[in-house]
Amino acid sequence: MKKKVPASAKEWLTEIAEAYRDAEEAISFGPAAGVNFTENELFQLAPSVCIKFRGLKRSKNNIKKATEAALSSYAATEDIPNGITATPCMSFAFCYVASHYGLELIDEKEADELLQYIDAHQNQLEELIAI
């Protein structure tokens, strides 16, 4: 499924909700693959979902760039009390945006602005996920 990078922050919220639901579907398949994980670990799937949604090749290079950007950024912020990674959906959103940055699909300024918007609209994101 190839999609263009969203053109507005509002479009990003909608896409992140869709990406989150896509990742959430993997929870039920985990036991069959010998892996048990919960909603709290969905952020780890954000790089893969990013690659899938952008229609990019799942090359070692793409996976490495997206994953390193997402997980290193997550690790740098996870200990901030009530920070942007305080809830499962926000952790996923953070890593999803960071994956796009790592793949050079957005620049640092756009990533920062998106994360500020997402943080300010967390309730809206949660509502979109629940649809």
Looking up tokens 């990742």 gives 23
The pLDDT tens digits for 76-122 are 887 676 677 889 999 999 999 999 999 999 999 999 999 999 999 99
pLDDT at residue 103, as a whole number: 98
- Record the pTM: 0.92
Per-chain mean pLDDT for the chain: 92
Structure tokens at 71: 């997980």
pLDDT at residue 1, as a whole number: 60
The pLDDT tens digits for 22-34 are 999 988 887 887 8
Helix (H, G, I), strand (E, B) or coil at 58: coil
Domains of the chain by residue range: 9-130
Contact yes or no for 55/1 (Cβ under 8 A): yes
Contact yes or no for 9/110 (Cβ under 8 A): no
pLDDT at residue 129, as a whole number: 96
Percent of the chain, pLDDT > 90?
Answer: 76
d(CA 92, CA 44): 8
